[in-house]
Structures are given as C-alpha cells and as structure tokens.
Structure 1
Amino acid sequence: MAMQTSLQDEAKDDHLLLWILVWSELIAFGILIFGFLVVSTFDAQAFELARLHLRPGIAGANTLILLVSGYFVAVAMRNRLALQTVKRPLTIAALLGFCFVAVKLFEYWGEVRYAHDATLDTFFELYFIITGFHLLHVFFGAIALLLVAWRPARENLILIATLWHVIDLVWLVIFPILYLA
C-alpha cells in the first residue's frame, strides 16, 4: 500500500513538472508575442511594409503540416494502452515536424535578405527570434517524438503529446499575428 501511494505521489510530481514546463513555455512565447505587438504599434507603417515580404501561403501550409502532425500525436494518445500501436503515428508526426522545419528554412531563405533593410530590420529581428525559437521547439520536439516512438512508455507519451500540442497551439497564435494582422 505504501509503495502504491509513493508511485502515485511520484506521478503527481511528474505532472506538476510537466505543467511547470508547459506554462513556462507559454509565458516565454507570450512575452515574445506581446513584445512584438507593442513594438508593432509604435512602428505600424514599417511592420505593415515588412509583412508584404512574408509568404503567408507557405506559413499556411506549415500550419496545416503542424495540425496534421498533431492529429497523429492524438491518434497515438488514443492508442496508448497498446504501446506497440503508437510507434507509427508518432513517427509520422515526427516526420511532419521535420517537414515543417524544412519548409520554414526554405521560407527563411527567401526572407533573410529583407532583414538587412534599415526600415524593416526591427520587424525581421523580432520575426526571426519568435519563429526561430518556435522552429527549435519543433525540431527538438520531432526528435523527442522519434525517441518515444522507438521506446514507447505511457509517461513519455503523455509528456511529448502535451508538449507537441503546446507547440501547435503556440504556432496557431504566432501565425495570424505575424502573417495576417
């Protein structure tokens, strides 16, 4: 009985750490996005001009890629009682994550030349910080998805699924603010 209580307490601690991580990520991205919005109000004309150099169609395709990857993570979570069945959907989600990274790098390749324009540099500095920080999360999240697919455990599945959905959620906030506002 004491052993079972100890395991339950440990599981509660794991969930607490997970939610501390989730909220710290949301706060970090929230501060970056809030800063972007504040600066954009002071230099609205330059930000509007800079947005003309973005490619919202590519970013929209990346949004779809992340949403589909999130679907496959949800499929894995639905099948978590039979751990052997989570490998394929997690691997697909990870590959889609790497696809997001490749598409984003292609997008950067077309945008980086505008970052040196004195009129647009503030926008693009913030743009590359926010999207680059998100890109790193996607890249390392995709690696974590592959690791969990390779050696699935329910606790790790819950952890990576939660984090992956947070990464999706953050992008769903970033996309309209940076590309469509």
Structure 2
Amino acid sequence: MTDGVPMTAQKRCQSLRLPGDKDVWVFIIGELMMFGAFFITYIIYRVDNVALYNESQQLLSSTLGTLNTLFLITSSWAVMLAVKSVKHNRHKKGQRQLLAAILFAIGFIVVKYFEYSEKLDAGYGLTTNEFFMFYYVFTMVHLAHVIGGGIILTVLWFNMRAGNYHSRRMRGLETGACYWHLVDLVWIVMFPLLYLLR
C-alpha cells in the first residue's frame, strides 16, 4: 500500500492511461466532433432528396471504396503491431510494420487519385449536384488527413530507425499511432455513408 492506496489499484490506474500525449486526445475529440457534424449534415440533406443521392451513389465505385477501406484498416493494424513490437524492443520488426503502414497509406492516396480522375473525366465535379459536393468535400478533407498522417508515419519511421523509441520511451510513437487510428476510424464511417447507404 502506498499513501493509503492499494498497490493493485495504483497499477490498474496506470494501465488505464491513454496512450500518447494528452493533447492529441483533445485534437482527436475535436476532429471527431467536426466529422460528426459533417455526417449529420449529410444525412439531413440526404433525407430531403433520397432519389438524387441514391442515383449519384451508383456512379461511385464501391470496389475502389472497399479497396481503400482495406488499405486503411490494414495500415492501422500494421501501426498497432509496430507499437507492440517497439514495446517489446523488437525494433527491426517494428520498422518493417511501420513501413508497411506507410505503403498502404500511399496505396490509399493512389486509389483516390484514380477515383477522382475517373469522376472528373466523366464530368462529375464538385458542382454537379448536392451529393457530389458532399462527396468531394468530405473525401478531400479526409484525404488531407491521410496525407498528413502519412507524413507523421514517415517521421515516426525515421525516428524509429534512429532508435528514438523503446519500451520506456513510447509517447511520440503512440501519439502518431493514435492520430492514424483516427484517420482510419473516420473513413470506416464515411465509406458506408457515401458508397453503400441506400
């Protein structure tokens, strides 16, 4: 017992700590509120014109959307494995896992480039209709987060190669990982709203 608190309770409190820097959690909550407002607005407008939204959704490629979903989920999983590897001081393994996460993020960006190109070449732009306005705004804001997250993952990878993270120094790596999981989570909600909801 320490200061009247049983040791087991102290350990339990320590194990419940949020990973990463507490400031990133303030940022994550703010981002979730912003995207939540986006999604609620989208649903409200969609209810007023279901036929237009359904017709426009048919023009999107659910195959490309699914591929990007798999890319981000796999990337997020690789980041989680990299954090776990570094916690166990398996640095080389963690570097490979983080590099895989970066490559999947690049894959997402490449697929999005081809998807945008296909839609714009077919004449479907930001001003085509209400659905495409939401589609471009939401996915472009998210894409900016993917690019930013990819840069963060790359910085983490270089730091990892330099030996800056180990089992007792995880905060920077965990902070970047938390941000990347946010990017993944937002897409997991956005994908069915834009591509699948009927």
TM-score bracket, shorter-length normalisation: 0.7 to 0.9
Structure (1 or 2) with the greater helix fraction: 1
Question: Match for residue 135 of structure 1?
Answer: 143
Judged with a 3 Å threshold, the aligned counterparts in structure 2 of structure 1 residues 116 and 146 are, in CA distance, closer, same or farther, namely closer
1:156 is the counterpart of 2:166: no
Superposition pairs of residues 164-175 of structure 1, within 5 angstroms: 164-175=180-191
**Ranges of 4+ aligned residues in structure 1 off by more than 6 Å:** none
What value does the CA root-mean-square deviation take over the aligned residues?
2.0
1:124 is the counterpart of 2:132: yes
1:147 is the counterpart of 2:155: yes
Deviation string, structure 1 residues 26-85 (Cα, Å, up to 9, x no partner): 111111111111111112111111111100111001111111111110111111222633
Q: Paired residue for 1:16, among 22, 31, 38?
A: 22
Question: Match for residue 114 of structure 1?
Answer: 124
Question: Match for residue 196 of structure 2?
Answer: 180
**Distance apart, 1:116 and its partner CA:** 6.5
1:26 is the counterpart of 2:24: no
Structure 1 segments unaligned to the other structure (5+ residues): 1-10
Judge conservation of contact 1:53–1:114 (CA < 8 Å) in 2. Answer: no
Superposition pairs of residues 91-102 of structure 1, within 5 angstroms: 91-102=99-110
Relative contact order (C-alpha < 8 Å, sep 6+): which is higher?
2
1:72 is the counterpart of 2:78: yes
Distance between the aligned counterparts of 1:167 and 1:83, measured in 2?
26
Q: Paired residue for 1:90, among 98, 120, 125?
A: 98
One-letter amino acid of the counterpart of residue 84, structure 1: H
Q: What is the identity percentage for the equivalent residue pairs of Structure 1 and Structure 2?
A: 29
Which is worse superposed, 166-175 or 86-95?
86-95
Judge conservation of contact 2:35–2:186 (CA < 8 Å) in 1. Answer: yes
Judge conservation of contact 1:88–1:149 (CA < 8 Å) in 2. Answer: no
Could you state the TM-score of these two structures normalised by the residue count of structure 1?
0.86
Structure with higher Rg: it is 2
Could you state the TM-score of these two structures normalised by the residue count of structure 2?
0.79
One-letter amino acid of the counterpart of residue 78, structure 1: K
